[in-house]
Amino acid sequence: MSQTQFVLGVPPPTWNDGEEFRIHCGISDGLTRNIEPIGNQFLAYVRRKLNNYSFSDDERIQAEAATEQAEEIILEDSEEETSELLNRDPKDWKEQDHYAVLGLSKYRWKATEEQIKHAHRRKVLKHHPDKKASSGDTNDDAFFKCIQKAHEVLSDPVKRRQFDSVDDAIDDEVPSSKAKGDFFKTYGPIFEREARFSNKTPVPMLGDINTSKPEVEAFYDFWYNFDSWRSFEYLDKEDTDSTDNRDDKRYIEKKNKAERAKRKKEDNIRRGKLIDQALSLDPRILKFKQEEKAAKEAKKREKEDAAKRAEEETRKVLLIKHFPLHYFSSSFHSRLVAQMLL
């Protein structure tokens, strides 16, 4: 165990302990602490010791490994970059598909932070202006600016939510009520997409034909009380930063808020229509109604049968009271009473 020693410096001649210093409490006793080395420098030290590397050897090997990793990242870029995408104007960044720019079109709102980080690094290694210049490519850095803007939006949780709220690549139209096909295959993916806007988690999914009645009721109850975080700031036509005048800023903000509220209301109506339509077409609802009807009819029949049995018992008791016991000894009389009981 190592010990740290230090010596206090000599105070200046002008220092007066009576005027400039007061002791409020004594110095506590020393404590023994275990200090664990951590960090990149320590890891590098251990790596050199274990492999018997010099500083230069370790740096060279790490650089080679980083280069190989970068090449692997570039090779993973399987999404096609169309000429339209590569020739985008970075000034029109609000019109660009940020997921497509980073090669994440197939993931979109499901892309994780790690995937976004990885995709950005891959694109930077491929399109960095310095790399293009070294290879003799004199093209401008317009697409690189698009890459940087896409990363800026998708790596910021607030900005990403704003973009995901209005992502044109995801169809949020309500299907026709007359559309043919399996109900669960049609509406299951729609509710899964809608679930991404929920403030409450977990979000119940549609399920299948075998989902129980309590689960189905809980599903529709949740969706009829859906709490959405979806917002529409991304579609603001005017930016408050475009002017320094406070009155103009207030006017623009008021106008933007009104437009957002209008879109929010339309979105709530759209989602309500989706839920109403799904409820009306859900085969489980019809199945539950049929089961309830069958149960009521069975209960009604059981009640009627019980009443009929009680009536027969009453008739039997009355007959026994009106006819003497020896009356039943005759077979003729017995048949006569039996017919009366029918």
Please give the residue that has the higher pLDDT: either 324 or 162: 162
Angle, to 10 degrees, between the axis of helix 113-127 and the axis of helix 55-75?
Answer: 100
pLDDT at residue 29, as a whole number: 77
Please give the residue that has the higher pLDDT: either 308 or 164: 164
> String of b and e for 276-287 (b: at least 16 CB within 10 Å)?
ebbeebbebbee
Candidate CATH numbers 3.40.50.720, 1.10.287.110, 2.40.50.1070, 1.20.58.760; the one for domain 83-165: 1.10.287.110
Q: Is the pLDDT of residue 306 over 90?
A: no
The full set of domain ranges for the chain reads: 83-165, 183-281
Strongest mean pLDDT among 118-132, 200-214, 241-255: 200-214
pLDDT at residue 75, as a whole number: 46
Q: Is the pLDDT of residue 7 over 80?
A: no
User: Is the omega angle on the peptide bond into residue 37 within 30 degrees of 0, that is, cis?
Assistant: no
Location of structure tokens 């590098």: 44
pLDDT, tens digit (0-9, with 9 covering 90-100), for 57-104: 888 888 887 766 655 544 455 688 888 998 999 999 989 999 999 999
Q: What pTM did the predictor assign? A: 0.63
HSE at residue 206, side-chain half, CA atoms within 13 A, is: 24
Q: Is the pLDDT of residue 239 over 50?
A: yes
pLDDT at residue 262, as a whole number: 95
Helices in the chain by DSSP H: which ranges? 17-20, 40-51, 55-75, 83-86, 98-101, 113-127, 129-134, 142-154, 157-165, 183-194, 213-224, 246-281, 283-322, 331-341
